Amino acid sequence: MQTETPGTAETTERPEEELEDEVTEVEGTPETGGGLPSGLYLVGTPIGNLEDITLRALRVLRTATLLMAEDTRHTGLLLAHYQIRARLLSCHKFNERSRADLVIERIRSGASVALVSDAGMPGISDPGARTAAAVRAAGLPVTVIPGPSAVTTAVALAGCAETPSFYFEGFLDHKTATRRRRLHELDGLRCPVVFYESTHRILKLLDEVEEELGPDRSLFLARELTKKFEETVQGTPTVLREHFRTHSHKGEFVVILLP
């Protein structure tokens, strides 16, 4: 088993309140003016450390006509940090389908629409994919502004040197029987398999891996990547359960099932 805990890092907290559905004005310095060609811009944002954002992302957020955000208050904190003032409109999993028509209409009338999720890349286990597909199907331009993603961050950190490939599963289904069946299907891949998991189900996942795939399977866990309490732990489910008896398992996890 190995553990690492790096130094301090700025973190973004996920607000608990309900998602807002109206336009929110964010205070800060005035926008520097337009100049962005009309279209949809998928913008990567930090997965924890607010410094993990590109210059291009900041420029697009500053100059887009309209900003669509998974949670307007959450993104408001990022914008305030960089003193960006923007018109924010919500775009989350409950309204993304209906928002697509609005985005297309706005782009047709010349708008540059930037879309961000709460963290990382839009469309990766997050809203954004439906909007991108709809805008492209309408024959309008879609541009990506790449940024961090928890999957690539964890795979790089794990250093899976034995195989050139990995498989990204994202979140397993919440239903126990479906999760267990899926673990067996993925076991046939013979390469590292990457899952997203929350603090609520991480211990359950360890039990499931042990019971379905055997007690000797090794997992690499990356918790709170780029944040103050970033930690990695590697070992069998028994070793990892033992670790969490004395260490917190709060926060966000990327789980890599090693082949």
Give the interface segment with ligand SAM, choosing from 95-103, 108-116, 147-155, 204-212 (CB under 6 A).
147-155
The closest residue (CB) to ligand SAM is 120
Contact yes or no for 214/204 (Cβ under 8 A):
no
Whichever of 76 and 120 has its CB closer to ligand SAM, that residue is: 120
Asked whether position 149 contacts ligand SAM by CB under 6 A, the answer is yes
Asked whether position 232 contacts ligand SAM by CB under 6 A, the answer is no
Q: Is the dihedral of CA 59, 63, 65, 66 positive or negative?
A: positive
Site for ligand SAM in 2-41 (CB under 6 A): none
Minimum gap (Å) between residue 109 Cβ and ligand SAM:
29
Whichever of 65 and 71 has its CB closer to ligand SAM, that residue is: 71
Asked whether position 91 contacts ligand SAM by CB under 6 A, the answer is no
Q: What is the DSSP string of 238-254?
A: HHHHHHHHHS---SEEE
For 198-205, the CB contacts below 8 A with 24+ separation are 198/252, 198/253, 199/249, 199/250, 199/251, 199/252, 199/253, 201/174, 202/244, 202/249, 202/253, 202/255, 203/241, 203/244, 203/249, 205/172, 205/179, 205/255
Rounded to whole angstroms, the Cα distance separating 102 from 46 reads 26
Asked whether position 227 contacts ligand SAM by CB under 6 A, the answer is yes
User: At which residue do the structure tokens 């297309």 appear?
Assistant: 104
Binding-site size, ligand SAM (CB under 6 A): 23
Give the interface segment with ligand SAM, choosing from 90-98, 107-115, 123-131, 178-186 (CB under 6 A).
123-131
Q: Is the dihedral of CA 4, 52, 75, 197 positive or negative?
A: negative
Minimum gap (Å) between residue 126 Cβ and ligand SAM:
4
Q: What is the DSSP string of 127-149?
A: TTHHHHHHHHHTT--EEEE----
Asked whether position 117 contacts ligand SAM by CB under 6 A, the answer is yes
Asked whether position 172 contacts ligand SAM by CB under 6 A, the answer is no
Asked whether position 197 contacts ligand SAM by CB under 6 A, the answer is yes
Asked whether position 237 contacts ligand SAM by CB under 6 A, the answer is no
- Residue 46's SS3 state is coil
Asked whether position 53 contacts ligand SAM by CB under 6 A, the answer is no
Asked whether position 166 contacts ligand SAM by CB under 6 A, the answer is no
- Residue 121's SS3 state is coil
Asked whether position 131 contacts ligand SAM by CB under 6 A, the answer is no
Query: Which residues contact ligand SAM (rule: CB under 6 A)?
Result: 47-48, 117, 119-121, 124-126, 149-151, 196-198, 222, 224-227, 252-254
